Amino acid sequence: MSDYFNHSSQSISRRNLLKLGAAGISAMALPSMPVFASSTAKAVGLQLYTLRDMMGASVSDTLKLVAQVGYKELEFAGYFGHSPKEIRAMMNDNGLSSPSAHIPLDTFRNDGIQKVIELAQEIGHQYVVIPYLSEEQRGHGIDTYKVLAEECNRWGEACRKQGLTLAYHNHAFEFDVMNGEMPYDVLLNEVEAQNMAMEMDLYWVLKAKQDPFAYFEQHAGRFKLWHIKDMDAAGNFADVGTGITDFTPIFARAKQAGVEHYYVERDQTDNALKTIQKGYLATAKLLG
């Protein structure tokens, strides 16, 4: 199975990652660091696409750093050449779990749903998430999404029969009206709820000027996974808690939405360690 976002260009060497990891562990060990999450609070998760360059340099060192920051749950975006057994061992060594993973659409189509299911079961994922449609994949109008909905019904049923759940992660383009219909609504309405959950990326929903509360009301319980990322005043990415997004009322509707797992993510950042630290603290406070 091909890796997702397996970049050939690595901007962070393993030596620099180890230096960064040591600095991060030292900083996080300071007794003055506030801790907001209790043992009964929901776990704060991290979408590892945020650390894709670090992952490319060393998966094991990256997971150690992530655990030291305080994260308990991971969402993978590629395994960087490691086997399911190796991934699971690295997580176990650091007290981590991975409820979900992003699996490219081409992998579902080319490798087949059974291979996707088997890999997920080996690692311990509960959700397999379609993360993104390329311009080519979405370039055929609303019929693209109607075909995808048919596929998702089949894949989702196969997952459900083997104890997994299929999910779909949005960007902003799913809210562009095509032929009088919105692709996101096609997926919600034409894929049976029992066959596919939704991973709501709050940044992209708000970027597309959509109302998450309306979706929570119309499709209560469907949004099992959230991506927590902030937006600055110019509409660009920001570390969680530093931007203009008012997360408090959104988190207050978590039960209605049906969310089970919360993943901090930032698509691009100049300071990955700062991003994951701030994201952890801000999200833990919201969940506390």
Q: Can you state the angle between helices 14-28 and 272-287, rounded to 10 degrees? A: 40
Give the pLDDT band of residue 171 (cuts 50, 70, 90): very high
Structure token pair of residue 2? 């091909």
Q: What pLDDT does 24 receive?
A: 45
- The string of pLDDT tens digits covering residues 51-98 is 999 999 999 999 999 999 999 999 999 999 999 999 999 999 999 999
100 belongs to a structural domain: yes
Provide CB contacts within 8 A for 284, sequence distance 6+: 35, 36, 37, 41, 44, 70
- In the block, tokens 């055929």 appear at 140
**What's the rounded Cα separation, in Å, for the pair 176 and 179?**
10
3 belongs to a structural domain: no
- In the block, tokens 């119309």 appear at 218
Give the pLDDT band of residue 154 (cuts 50, 70, 90): very high
Please compute the mean of the pLDDT values over residues 26-47 and round it to a whole number. 55
Q: What pLDDT does 33 receive?
A: 39
**What's the rounded Cα separation, in Å, for the pair 130 and 235?**
25
SS (H, E, C) the chain: CCCCCCCCCCCCCHHHHHHHHHHHHHHHCCCCCCCCCCCCCCCEEEEHHHHHHHHHHCHHHHHHHHHHHCCCEEEECCCCCCCHHHHHHHHHHCCCEEEEEECCHHHHHHHCHHHHHHHHHHHCCCEEEECCCCCCCCCCCHHHHHHHHHHHHHHHHHHHHCCCEEEEECCCHHHCCECCECHHHHHHHHCCCCCCEEEEEHHHHHHCCCCHHHHHHHCCCCCCEEEECEECCCCCEECCCCCCCCHHHHHCCHHHHCCCEEEECCCCCCCHHHHHHHHHHHHHHHHC
7 belongs to a structural domain: no
- In the block, tokens 């620099």 appear at 16
**What's the rounded Cα separation, in Å, for the pair 251 and 267?**
21
Q: What pLDDT does 20 receive?
A: 55
- Beta bridge pairs of residue 264: 46, 228
Structure token pair of residue 205? 């929903």
253 belongs to a structural domain: yes
What percentage of the chain reaches a pLDDT higher than 90?
A: 84
Number of domains in the chain: 1
**What's the rounded Cα separation, in Å, for the pair 262 and 47?**
9
Structural domain that includes position 189: 14-287
**What's the rounded Cα separation, in Å, for the pair 162 and 48?**
26
CATH number for the domain that contains residue 93: 3.20.20.150
Please compute the mean of the pLDDT values over residues 238-265 and round it to a whole number. 98
236 belongs to a structural domain: yes
Under 8 Å between Cβ of 46 and 74: yes
**What's the rounded Cα separation, in Å, for the pair 225 and 99?**
10
Provide CB contacts within 8 A for 108, sequence distance 6+: 116, 130, 151, 155
65 belongs to a structural domain: yes
6 belongs to a structural domain: no
2 belongs to a structural domain: no
What is the reported pTM?
A: 0.89
